[in-house]
């Protein structure tokens, strides 16, 4: 059972790391602010989410798990707001960042 | 090479690279972002060095709060007119050489330390039960070296006076303005939903500081960030800086600290000494008052000089 959980952790964290890598490549390669934000949100939503889900079996239940999920939700919330503000600033100020 | 060592080397290389990039980059805004990233990486290094108290302070004060102040300064510089010419090549070289000398001196001191390095840590831990605290860092900050912490708390007030003194005469005593030019739905929602959690985290950090990593400065930084968020979203206005209650809140922490310290002369034979058996409640009282005062001071530092007339 513990081997299965460890395997799950490894798979989920690797998948999360992949989304962070993809998000970073997108941030560096995409042409304008809006598409770059689009790439970044994938890292935040899916990357961090998969890392958190992968770490859940490894932490103390329930407090450790609640903390991890709270970190994910608060990071999502802050990232969403910031990308809204940045997108509007980009739209108002022309497409140059 | 173990995995932990690989992570440590990676972190060290990354923090040096970001530091170098921050120094070299010409754009002010980019340099500030580099400084914030540098602070967050530094916090991770403090965690790896098993110093969570320092890591929390670095993340909250060094990176977060200082970064926010620098961002504000960068924004002001961008809209300012009559920016003086940048310093000449000779001055920049002198500054660079002096900074390099300080870095080399610090590196030499660390590298030349005898092995094992001299430490007061065992003595600090051995006497901790007398204070009733569980966190040796709080023991150092509020019992063994309380005078340093007192000065750190007091020094925020002259810093705030320095910011206030930048206000034009017509705004003197008025309220600072931190409102986002056009706060929209997303920012408003964040400013409505996040503060309840942030306030809990701030109070927890302060209360928890007695026994675990945390303390007045870290808790206050989180509280100040929540206040700044509310001000930016325009959900509330900053109070005029001439309000009496505001000034009382600002000095409350230092006054309580100083009063308990002076009482120590009579009751415990020394300035800033605590009577036996009363150390922990007195330290918690000081921490509580400090947290409030520091939070208000940090929030007003972020809010900047008064920008509205007193009406």
Find the distance separating the first CA and the last CA of chain B, reported in whole Å.
67
**How far A70 CA sits from the closest chain B CA (Å)?**
10
| Alpha helices in chain B, H assignment, sequence order | 3-24, 28-48, 52-57, 66-79, 89-111, 121-126, 128-131, 136-139, 146-164, 185-208, 216-232, 244-268, 279-303
Say whether both B173 and B259 belong to one domain: yes
Say whether both B110 and B124 belong to one domain: no
- Comparing alpha-carbon positions, the chain B residue that sits nearest to A88 is B184
User: Does some domain include residue A63?
Assistant: yes
Size of interface A-B (CB pairs under 8 A): 21
Say whether both B61 and B160 belong to one domain: no
Q: How many CA atoms lie within 13 A of B246 on its CB side?
A: 17
**How far A1 CA sits from the closest chain B CA (Å)?**
25
Say whether both B307 and B168 belong to one domain: yes
Of B180, B184, B190, nearest to A77 by CB-CB distance is: B190
Contact between chains at B187 and A80 (C-beta distance less than 8 A) = no
Contact between chains at A84 and B193 (C-beta distance less than 8 A) = no
CA distance B151 to A95: 48
CA distance B103 to B236: 44
Say whether both B308 and B225 belong to one domain: yes
Of A70, A81, A88, nearest to B190 by CB-CB distance is: A81
| Structural domain boundaries, residue A60 | 2-92
Contact between chains at A77 and B187 (C-beta distance less than 8 A) = no
Residue B177 and residue B307 in contact, taking contact as beta carbons nearer than 8 Å? yes
Residue B257 and residue B150 in contact, taking contact as beta carbons nearer than 8 Å? yes
Which residue, of B58, B79, B100, is where some domain finishes? Answer: B79
Nearby residues of A29 by Cβ (< 8 Å), 6 or more positions away: none
- Rounded to 5 degrees, what are φ and ψ at B179? -65, 135
User: Does some domain include residue A55?
Assistant: yes
Of B180, B186, B197, nearest to A80 by CB-CB distance is: B186
Instruction: Residue B179: name the closest of B236, B110, B95 by CA.
Output: B236
Please report residues of A whose CB lies closer than 8 A to that of B186: 80-81, 84-85
Say whether both B256 and B296 belong to one domain: yes
**How far B187 CA sits from the closest chain A CA (Å)?**
6
**How far A4 CA sits from the closest chain B CA (Å)?**
22
User: Does some domain include residue A97?
Assistant: no
CA distance B95 to B74: 21
Say whether both B148 and B10 belong to one domain: no
Instruction: Residue B191: name the closest of B235, B243, B222, B221 by CA.
Output: B235
Residue B212 and residue B284 in contact, taking contact as beta carbons nearer than 8 Å? no
Averaged confidence pLDDT in chain A: 87
The total of structural domains in chain B comes to 3
**How far A47 CA sits from the closest chain B CA (Å)?**
19
CA distance B302 to B28: 18
Q: How many CA atoms lie within 13 A of A69 on its CB side?
A: 10
User: Does some domain include residue A74?
Assistant: yes
Query: Tens-of-pLDDT digits for all 97 residues of chain A?
Result: 688 999 999 999 999 999 999 999 998 999 888 888 888 888 878 899 999 999 999 888 888 999 999 999 999 998 888 888 888 888 887 644 4
Give the three-state DSSP class for B176.
Answer: strand
Residue B262 and residue B309 in contact, taking contact as beta carbons nearer than 8 Å? no
User: Does some domain include residue A40?
Assistant: yes
**Tokens of residue A81, six digits:** 């707001």
**Tokens of residue B308, six digits:** 């509205």
Say whether both B208 and B290 belong to one domain: yes
Please report residues of B whose CB lies closer than 8 A to that of A67: none
- Rounded to 5 degrees, what are φ and ψ at B242? -90, 0
Which residue, of B26, B52, B79, is where some domain finishes? Answer: B79
Say whether both B235 and B99 belong to one domain: no
Nearby residues of A60 by Cβ (< 8 Å), 6 or more positions away: none
What is the value of ipTM here, to two decimals? 0.82
Say whether both B142 and B176 belong to one domain: yes
- Give the pLDDT confidence score for residue A8 in this predicted structure: 93
| Structural domain boundaries, residue B232 | 120-311
The total of structural domains in chain A comes to 1
Please report residues of A whose CB lies closer than 8 A to that of B197: 70, 74
Say whether both B221 and B239 belong to one domain: yes
Say whether both B94 and B214 belong to one domain: no
Query: Tens-of-pLDDT digits for all 311 residues of chain B?
Result: 688 899 999 999 999 999 999 988 988 899 999 999 999 999 999 999 999 999 999 999 889 899 999 998 888 888 777 777 778 889 989 999 999 999 999 999 989 988 888 888 888 888 888 888 888 888 888 888 888 999 999 999 999 999 999 888 899 888 998 888 777 788 899 999 999 999 999 999 998 888 888 888 899 999 999 999 999 998 999 999 999 999 999 999 999 999 999 998 888 888 888 888 888 888 889 999 999 999 999 999 999 899 888 87
């Amino acid at each position: 059972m513990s081997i299965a959980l460890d395997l799950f952790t490894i798979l989920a964290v690797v998948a999360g790391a992949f989304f962070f890598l993809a998000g970073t490549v997108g941030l560096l390669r995409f042409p304008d602010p809006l598409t770059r934000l689009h790439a970044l949100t994938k890292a935040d939503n899916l990357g961090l989410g998969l890392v958190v889900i992968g770490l859940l079996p490894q932490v103390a239940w329930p407090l450790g798990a609640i903390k991890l999920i709270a970190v994910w939700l608060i990071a999502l919330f802050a990232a969403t707001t910031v990308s809204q503000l940045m997108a509007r600033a980009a739209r108002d100020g022309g497409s140059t960042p | 090479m173990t995995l932990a060592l690989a992570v440590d080397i990676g972190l060290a290389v990354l923090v040096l690279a970001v530091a170098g990039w921050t120094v070299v980059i010409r754009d002010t805004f980019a340099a500030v972002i580099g400084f914030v990233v540098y602070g967050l990486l530094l916090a991770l290094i403090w965690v790896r060095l098993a110093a969570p108290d320092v890591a929390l302070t670095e993340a909250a004060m060094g990176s977060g709060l200082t970064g926010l102040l620098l961002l504000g300064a960068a924004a002001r510089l961008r809209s300012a007119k009559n920016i003086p010419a940048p310093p000449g090549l000779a001055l920049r070289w002198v500054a660079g050489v002096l900074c390099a000398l300080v870095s080399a001196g610090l590196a030499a001191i660390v590298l030349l330390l005898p092995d094992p390095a001299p430490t007061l840590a065992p003595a600090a831990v051995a006497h901790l039960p007398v204070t009733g605290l569980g966190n040796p860092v709080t023991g150092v900050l509020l019992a063994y070296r309380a005078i340093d912490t007192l000065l750190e708390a007091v020094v925020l007030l002259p810093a705030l006076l320095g910011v206030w003194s930048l206000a034009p005469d017509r705004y003197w005593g008025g309220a600072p303005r931190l409102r986002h030019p056009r706060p929209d739905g997303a920012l408003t929602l964040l400013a409505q939903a996040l503060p309840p959690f942030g306030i809990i985290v701030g109070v927890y950090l302060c209360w928890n500081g007695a026994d675990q990593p945390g303390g007045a400065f870290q808790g206050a930084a989180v509280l100040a960030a929540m206040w700044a968020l509310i001000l930016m979203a325009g959900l509330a206005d900053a109070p005029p800086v001439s309000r009496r209650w505001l000034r009382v809140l600002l000095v409350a922490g230092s006054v309580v600290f100083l009063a308990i310290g002076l009482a120590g002369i009579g009751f415990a034979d020394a300035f800033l000494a605590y009577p036996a058996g009363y150390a922990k409640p007195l330290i918690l009282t000081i921490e509580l008052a400090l947290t409030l005062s520091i939070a208000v001071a940090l929030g007003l530092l972020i809010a900047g000089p008064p920008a509205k007339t007193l009406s």
